[in-house]
Structure 1
């Protein structure tokens, strides 16, 4: 029996066909618009015939979406189709606002649980805690659901009710929450790292980011800050105008922050500072890393180009592409790349060229020899084509295999959860320390837990052994390999002693998060953050600071 095309799809196809017929009527056959119309006609015909004749039932909505996404995948990873049902999620990502309970959820050791309730929102105020295992949401069993499905159940219009049932230890607890408008802060932490140095952690560039940083600056200056560290490590970026506003806090009025240059005239724009700066002279360090992208790179790059801040960390991500959102039929939309960012020195921060792809579909990188040289305001040399390079380049932080194993197997997470059920309070986040006695309890707790691991050296020897067997040399070196394996074989017990301080720091962060949430976690981590200590060191030597920004000229 012949099936009918759903009304929504039928209307879409009719619109496509009408557009195709119009274009076919008025365009010469060699025109690009003719090719567009022809292919739209083919696509519409194909979907219609599949719906009529394919042996099994098809879902035209899903099929067309797959086709659209496959087409966009040929361009760059930032151009994406947003169907009507995903519009709320997209709006939340760009504004930082949504209706819900205010909690980060995730899966640990196969269990869906609360990973972080945000301070001042329904989840935290109702008494939900980190590590509470989610069992039901409004009567729906969520034990086997994925986190996206659970998140959808928890979200909803402000002032509506939602019941959440969790398991905490051996208890099953029920919580009645009233959803509210959730606005995630762009600045989850601000504080003094020493008597003169203020620290601002900026995690996003959603609506109001610049105002939040401005307020943090005012608070820190009231607390005695004479120097500032702005940390945009791991910040993926966001709204361009918020980045301009943050640069304006440190740069005089009327200065160019960024230009956008694209194919169409209406996407070409120049963004300048509009106001007098909050503090144009305060010594400033900006911290970046390989996950600082887009708006983060505009802030760091513009401040570097004006020699207004010393950059500390590692080379940034290299996203210099501008996306614009264009509405489509039936409340869908497309977020597509329309231009590139150019910062004040004239350099573009985009690292990968997606117009030139290899046989695997990967974009091409600019060869070091082809990167162009630019100058900062004081004549320092900077380069394009590879993100933003810091003035002080730091090695990536590494952790011992035992620490990595304890974290990834959620053993530190589980111990912290049990600790929080035993003790109602702990000292302030930055004052709390894991004592030798508490560390001893943790070591004893590990006795019946599985957390073995393979060190890099052991893995290298295993690989050597495999290659030796494959190439028939194994018998010749078998004895040497056995001796080598024995000499480098790790001892979990010894590693618990050798890497005690590192493991203690991980324990401290996890325990503090149970009592002081995200703000406390950031505060606690400051005490053992080697990259932050280097930033403080830079600001502690003002002669060196000035020398970096204004090097002696020949």
Structure 2
């Protein structure tokens, strides 16, 4: 490359580009970057060199460049990120294995750790931690200003050991402390049981075997009853999502035909559609799907597919509203880039980004005494979330203070009736109002009585 062809700033920017491995330093690579970009890279190089030379403490280049990469991705959307070795191991743990910890899915918001959802039947869930809670201290040490990975590492640890967590909950006047004992968090994505003559399938996450486990649950329910059930309740509440292929497989288990989901990238022609294969593992029996504000991503794909295909009645609360697809792009054996590359759409062409899935029937969780007072935490609350210009404004519905006459019981009254989970109890009652030959339309009608 003849030096006379490029100014000093361009050469410095090209060196930085090469160092960061963003584009090769070739004539073709440089031609793809316009002069304005080179000026910005030159400014970055000035800052980089000043920090190296003048910051009060010596900082190694790896730390500075990692911070620059994190900042670049954080400026895009809440779900794009750079995964170093520790982050990569955490991701594999979430989809593959077990770990010692308390069972929380968390995010970082303005330097604070915010709970996305507690995993069901884990120490955090049993301690009463809620979606939308802020974790301010761990064992009395302030978390603000640290990284999410550092907070996650502190919450994990040897099973049997205690950790004190300080919670700030919107709607409460003061922070409060919870002491939680770590356990082995066994990632069992699917649990099932028979409730009378109804099959209950609880899907906690979409990890690598979720679809297979749902099909096994359908067979197990038939075997336990010695016949086919009246119908199924599929519980997707507080399910933070997971793998796209598993959401497709779970949807396919309940569908005979038709589109499940489509994903659309930057270009108009960049559309990929996924369809159900012939064969309904649920035998066409009626299905009620339970969702809430913690049902996100892959859980919303399933709820949206079954709703749009008129295969199930969706009840509960409006879902989280994460309608974007992240692709894992390996950078080395131990690092990767998790990048938002597409939006997904339900079979009818709806994007759930921001707006979420609106239930066919809104059923409040009356057995939770904090239900009305606790603010809902959703995708639209995250900074720099992707905008959905076609989003429906749900605020009028959610701010409606008029009580539905069907849902006037208090938590205390339900406790006396031994109803620990009102939404689930209501779903079971819907299915029991009909017989085993009911169509999804009749299920919907039963829910409106």
* TM-score range normalised by the length of the shorter chain: 0.5 to 0.7
Whether 1:389 and 2:284 are equivalent positions in the alignment is no
Assess if the C-alpha contact under 8 Å between 2:366 and 2:411 holds in 1: no
Alpha-carbon offset, residue 393 of structure 1: 1.2
Assess if the C-alpha contact under 8 Å between 1:267 and 1:338 holds in 2: no
The DSSP-based 3-state class of the residue aligned with 1:68 is helix
Q: Which residue number corresponds to residue 466 of structure 1?
A: none
Query: Relative to structure 1, is the Cα distance of residues 268 and 16 closer, same or farther in structure 2, using a 3 angstrom cutoff?
Result: farther
Alpha-carbon offset, residue 34 of structure 1: 4.5
Looking at structure 1, the residues matched to 424 and 186 of structure 2 have their Cα atoms a distance apart, in angstroms, of 28
TM, length-normalised to structure 1: 0.52
Whether 1:65 and 2:34 are equivalent positions in the alignment is no
Whether 1:539 and 2:434 are equivalent positions in the alignment is no
Alpha-carbon offset, residue 286 of structure 1: 0.6
Looking at structure 1, the residues matched to 424 and 301 of structure 2 have their Cα atoms a distance apart, in angstroms, of 21
1:447-482 residue CA offsets vs partner (Å, 9 max, x unmatched): xxxxxxxxxxxxxxxxxxxxxxxxxxxxxxxxxxxx
Alpha-carbon offset, residue 288 of structure 1: 0.8
The DSSP-based 3-state class of the residue aligned with 2:289 is strand
Q: Which residue number corresponds to residue 239 of structure 2?
A: 235
Looking at structure 2, the residues matched to 301 and 547 of structure 1 have their Cα atoms a distance apart, in angstroms, of 19
Looking at structure 2, the residues matched to 345 and 117 of structure 1 have their Cα atoms a distance apart, in angstroms, of 31
Q: Which of 190, 193, 196 is 1:191 aligned to? A: 193
1:23-48 residue CA offsets vs partner (Å, 9 max, x unmatched): 677655xx655544543454344323
The DSSP-based 3-state class of the residue aligned with 1:315 is coil
Query: Relative to structure 1, is the Cα distance of residues 397 and 60 closer, same or farther in structure 2, using a 3 angstrom cutoff?
Result: farther
Whether 1:341 and 2:351 are equivalent positions in the alignment is no
Looking at structure 1, the residues matched to 341 and 300 of structure 2 have their Cα atoms a distance apart, in angstroms, of 18
Whether 1:80 and 2:49 are equivalent positions in the alignment is no
TM, length-normalised to structure 2: 0.64
Query: Relative to structure 1, is the Cα distance of residues 530 and 92 closer, same or farther in structure 2, using a 3 angstrom cutoff?
Result: same
Looking at structure 2, the residues matched to 103 and 399 of structure 1 have their Cα atoms a distance apart, in angstroms, of 21
Query: Relative to structure 1, is the Cα distance of residues 533 and 504 closer, same or farther in structure 2, using a 3 angstrom cutoff?
Result: closer
CA RMSD, 1 decimal: 4.2
Q: Which residue number corresponds to residue 208 of structure 1?
A: 209
Q: Which residue number corresponds to residue 252 of structure 1?
A: 256
Assess if the C-alpha contact under 8 Å between 2:365 and 2:422 holds in 1: no
Q: Which of 304, 307, 311 is 1:301 aligned to? A: 304
Looking at structure 2, the residues matched to 55 and 229 of structure 1 have their Cα atoms a distance apart, in angstroms, of 60
Alpha-carbon offset, residue 539 of structure 1: 1.1
Looking at structure 2, the residues matched to 349 and 41 of structure 1 have their Cα atoms a distance apart, in angstroms, of 40
Looking at structure 2, the residues matched to 76 and 304 of structure 1 have their Cα atoms a distance apart, in angstroms, of 28
Assess if the C-alpha contact under 8 Å between 2:285 and 2:439 holds in 1: no
Alpha-carbon offset, residue 319 of structure 1: 1.2
The DSSP-based 3-state class of the residue aligned with 1:223 is helix
Gaps of 5+ in 2: 1-14, 106-117, 128-137, 144-150, 164-182, 374-409
The DSSP-based 3-state class of the residue aligned with 1:58 is coil
Q: Which residue number corresponds to residue 485 of structure 1?
A: none
Looking at structure 1, the residues matched to 212 and 21 of structure 2 have their Cα atoms a distance apart, in angstroms, of 48
Q: Which of 420, 430, 435 is 1:528 aligned to? A: 420
Q: Which residue number corresponds to residue 323 of structure 1?
A: 326
Alpha-carbon offset, residue 244 of structure 1: 0.9
Q: Which residue number corresponds to residue 394 of structure 2?
A: none
Assess if the C-alpha contact under 8 Å between 1:538 and 1:545 holds in 2: no
The DSSP-based 3-state class of the residue aligned with 1:64 is helix
Looking at structure 2, the residues matched to 279 and 330 of structure 1 have their Cα atoms a distance apart, in angstroms, of 41
Query: Relative to structure 1, is the Cα distance of residues 504 and 83 closer, same or farther in structure 2, using a 3 angstrom cutoff?
Result: farther
Q: Which residue number corresponds to residue 97 of structure 2?
A: 97
Assess if the C-alpha contact under 8 Å between 2:202 and 2:235 holds in 1: yes
Task: Output aligned runs, 1:172-183, within 5 Å.
Answer: none
Query: Relative to structure 1, is the Cα distance of residues 148 and 499 closer, same or farther in structure 2, using a 3 angstrom cutoff?
Result: closer
1:400-455 residue CA offsets vs partner (Å, 9 max, x unmatched): 57xx9xxxxxxxxxxxxxxxxxxxxxxxxxxxxxxxxxxxxxxxxxxxxxxxxxxx
The DSSP-based 3-state class of the residue aligned with 2:48 is helix
The DSSP-based 3-state class of the residue aligned with 2:340 is strand
Query: Relative to structure 1, is the Cα distance of residues 116 and 305 closer, same or farther in structure 2, using a 3 angstrom cutoff?
Result: closer
Looking at structure 1, the residues matched to 120 and 291 of structure 2 have their Cα atoms a distance apart, in angstroms, of 27
Alpha-carbon offset, residue 223 of structure 1: 2.4
Assess if the C-alpha contact under 8 Å between 1:301 and 1:343 holds in 2: yes
Alpha-carbon offset, residue 21 of structure 1: 8.1
Query: Relative to structure 1, is the Cα distance of residues 550 and 18 closer, same or farther in structure 2, using a 3 angstrom cutoff?
Result: closer
Alpha-carbon offset, residue 52 of structure 1: 2.5
Looking at structure 2, the residues matched to 116 and 229 of structure 1 have their Cα atoms a distance apart, in angstroms, of 19
Q: Which residue number corresponds to residue 272 of structure 1?
A: 275
Higher alpha-carbon deviation: 526-535 or 75-84? 526-535
Q: Which residue number corresponds to residue 53 of structure 2?
A: 52
The DSSP-based 3-state class of the residue aligned with 1:249 is helix
Alpha-carbon offset, residue 83 of structure 1: 1.7
